[in-house]
Amino acid sequence: MGARQLHFNLFLHDTGHHEASWRLPSSDPHANLSLEAHQHLARVAEDAKFDSLFLADSPAMFGEPGRRPAGRIEPTVLLAALAVSTQRIGLIATASTSYNEPFNLARRLASVDHLSGGRAGWNIVTTAGDAAARNFGLEGQPLHKTRYERADEFLDVATKLWDSWADDAVVADKEAGVHTLRDRVRPISHSGAYFSVEGPLNLARPPQGHPLLVQAGSSEDGKEFAARWAEAIFTAQPTLAESQAFYADIKRRVLAAGRNPDHVLVLPGIVPVLGETEAEARELEEELDRLIAPEYAIVQLAQLLRVDPDRLDLDAELPDDLPSEEAIEGAKSRRTLVVDWARRDRLTVRELIGKLGGGRGHRTFTGTPVQVADTIQHYFENGAADGFNIMPAVLPSGIEAFTSSVVPILQERGLFRTEYAGTTLRDHYGLPRPANRLDPAAEEAAS
């Protein structure tokens, strides 16, 4: 086995992760709806040998529409288009377990895995917020605990559906006139608290067995869920110490769940703002921060904190009597990250908005390519990360700069691949193809 190497995922986000990126003269403010823009970004990342790319999603309006591009193409539809525009890079879509049904979603993800030759991944979210709930006939969001209970059963059903076809079910024997062995395709006959699904799936088992399972929640429920199901974790950790603590905690939980910690990759988000010199990088960061519209940002911050926007004074620190994490049913871990950050650094609301504008709580690093490479290497070699979720502040220039200047440094240091070793997303992440748990023959062979 060779030396441990970094894993990189490109987090696509229209014109970039900085909320004011769309206002730069060079930005295309309609990139969120452009297939050509997404194809270009995918090819840049693939040429640099990135493991994967990732699309966020929400079944409700994405933020305040006046603030930045808010429209989102449905991610599995977009990934199907990107599958024919690329050859190797993994393709990860976000989809909610609260506002989908297991059969339909399992089928869509299996379809992308087939069309891409085994490159599909699913970022599993439970979806916080009343806005999404109201789009599905509910008065408000289900309880946090309820959302995770439903998610747990959802994963049980989805994986059973992917396993409802044995790997050898399709024989396509023209001479015998048999296309599929009927006894190798089985119903799942699932009946649970949230779902009743007979099965089987109306699609053969995906090339990867299961699309790669990714998770991003960092609440207690989220981490326990990740320990049971996730194979990669996208996380927001603004400091090295917090990244190390999260990394150790997740690996410990995975082991306690009876799984191999090496088969669950932790990829913190990093927002690199690059320049040939530190001064040049700072100049770009300052230009972006000047373009933030605080009247929009303060509304979104208030929503996260579950307070009235009128209670947030731009030039004062956060109020002392904010609702606790236990008192809210929304994005618990992100709320706590933001509040702890503001309290620790004694940030005013205006300063906090500026810091969140670049990466929404993810680690923002402004500097030269060597400085960014050094930071990535330090995290990787000091128990904080298995790789990174790369979140350029500005697109496409940010990923073009990262792949042309930072990636070669890490390749020269032997920390990142120069060629793909396999063809599937699981190959890139170094993760095994799961045995079919509904097929006794497959279980026997794997044991």
Share of the chain above pLDDT 90, in %: 67
How far apart CA 96 and CA 390 sit, in angstroms, is 22
pLDDT for residue 447 is more than 50:
no
Residues 193, 196, 199, 205: what is their CA dihedral angle, to the nearest 10 degrees?
-30
Query: Residue ranges per domain, the chain?
Result: 7-278+363-446
pLDDT band at 445 (very low <50, low <70, confident <90, very high): very low
Taking only the tens place, the pLDDT of each residue in 224-255 is 999 999 999 999 888 899 999 999 999 999 99
Q: Where are the alpha helices (DSSP H) in 219-368?
A: 220-229, 240-256, 278-290, 294-305, 332-344, 349-359
Give the CB-side neighbour count of residue 114, counting CA atoms within 13 A: 12
Residue 444: what pLDDT? 47
Assign 446 a pLDDT band (cuts: 50, 70, 90). very low
Please confirm whether the linkage preceding 187 is cis (ω < 30° from 0): no
This prediction has a pTM of 0.88
> What confidence tens digit (pLDDT) does each residue in 145-170 have?
999 999 999 999 999 999 999 999 99
Bridge partners of 265?
232
Please give the Cα distance from 296 to 99 (Å, whole number). 27
The tokens 């504008």 sit on which residue?
357
Q: Is a pLDDT exceeding 60 seen at residue 129? A: yes
- Mean pLDDT score, 369-384: 97
7-278+363-446: CATH class: alpha beta
DSSP 300-327: HHHHHHTS-GGG--TTSBPPTTPPPGGG
pLDDT one-digit tens code per residue, 324-364: 666 555 555 667 767 776 787 777 877 676 666 554 556 78
Inter-residue contact 424 to 118 (CB < 8 Å): yes
* Most confidently predicted of 5-19, 155-169, 285-299, 317-331: 155-169
pLDDT digits (tens, 9 = 90+) for 411-442: 999 999 999 999 999 999 999 999 999 887 76
Lowest mean pLDDT among 113-117, 129-133, 176-180: 129-133
Residue type for position 329: E
Mean pLDDT of the chain: 90
Distance between CA atoms of residues 390 and 399, nearest Å? 8
Paired with 388 in beta bridges are 8
pLDDT at position 125 over 50: yes
- Mean predicted confidence (pLDDT) in 394-418: 97
Nearby residues of 412 by Cβ (< 8 Å), 6 or more positions away: none
pLDDT of 325 reads: 62
